[in-house]
């Protein structure tokens, strides 16, 4: 299986999480890291399976580089393609917009026919509102480097196992 791992290579925390994903994924998968800051339309569309790293910035919004990239693919269909999304956020400083960007991305790709996998229970997080919630699950994996740094590695390892099953 081939998976495109899209994130910004210039981030601090997303990059750390991506490294754990790369170390965990195993040799049955051809994981192709792509810097979303330099990705073209064709770089993105060559895959059927995606892992997207999307931290939340600006009180519930996408960071600039994702915001600039998204229009490149807004007229595409992602029917038959599968997306797993992880995202850094800070549940104490931004309790009303915790990891909103995961929800924004999930909605964008599911509106264009994509299948979203990698949902995790909201148990163990403490916040007031999140656009990434669907009932009592997040539609991707939230990572909080400011408040729950120690949990990131085990959370990522469990999530990678989960999505590898769900990609199949
Ligand atoms: C200006 C600013 C705005 C932020 N807004 C949010 C937010 O709305 N929701 C959230 O969960 N985290 C928010 N954060 C926290 C970041 O998502 C968090 O620090 C994350 O780990 C950054 O990841 P990165 O280093 O990969 O960019 C914000 C951080 C900054 C500096």
Pocket test for ligand 1, best of 55, 103, 141 (most atoms within 8 A of CB): 55
CA of 3 to the centre of ligand 1 (A): 26
pLDDT band at 168 (very low <50, low <70, confident <90, very high): confident
pLDDT tens digits, 103-151: 999 999 999 999 999 999 999 999 999 999 999 999 999 999 999 999 9
Question: How confident is the model over 1-23, as a mean pLDDT?
Answer: 98
pLDDT of residue 25: 96
Which protein residue has the closest C-alpha to ligand 1 atom 21? 88
Q: Shortest CA distance to 36 belongs to which of 48, 21, 54, 57?
A: 54
What 8-state DSSP symbol labels residue 63?
Answer: -
pLDDT of residue 31: 98
CA of 145 to the centre of ligand 1 (A): 10
15 in Cβ contact with 148 (< 8 Å): no
């Amino acid at each position: 299986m081939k998976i495109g791992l899209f994130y910004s290579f210039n981030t601090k925390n997303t990059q750390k999480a991506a490294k754990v994903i790369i170390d965990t994924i195993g040799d049955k998968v051809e994981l192709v890291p792509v810097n979303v800051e330099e990705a073209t339309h064709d770089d993105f569309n060559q895959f059927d399976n995606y892992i997207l790293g999307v931290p939340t910035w600006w009180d519930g919004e996408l960071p600039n580089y994702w915001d600039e990239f998204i229009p490149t693919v807004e007229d595409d269909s992602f029917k038959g393609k599968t997306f797993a999304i992880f995202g850094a956020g800070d549940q104490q400083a931004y309790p009303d917009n915790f990891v909103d960007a995961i929800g924004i991305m999930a909605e964008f790709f599911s509106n264009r026919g994509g299948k979203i996998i990698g949902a995790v229970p909201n148990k163990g997080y403490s916040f007031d509102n999140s656009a990434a919630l669907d009932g009592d699950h997040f539609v991707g994996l939230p990572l909080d480097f400011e408040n729950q740094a120690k949990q990131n590695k085990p959370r990522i390892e469990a999530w990678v196992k989960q999505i590898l099953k769900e990609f199949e």
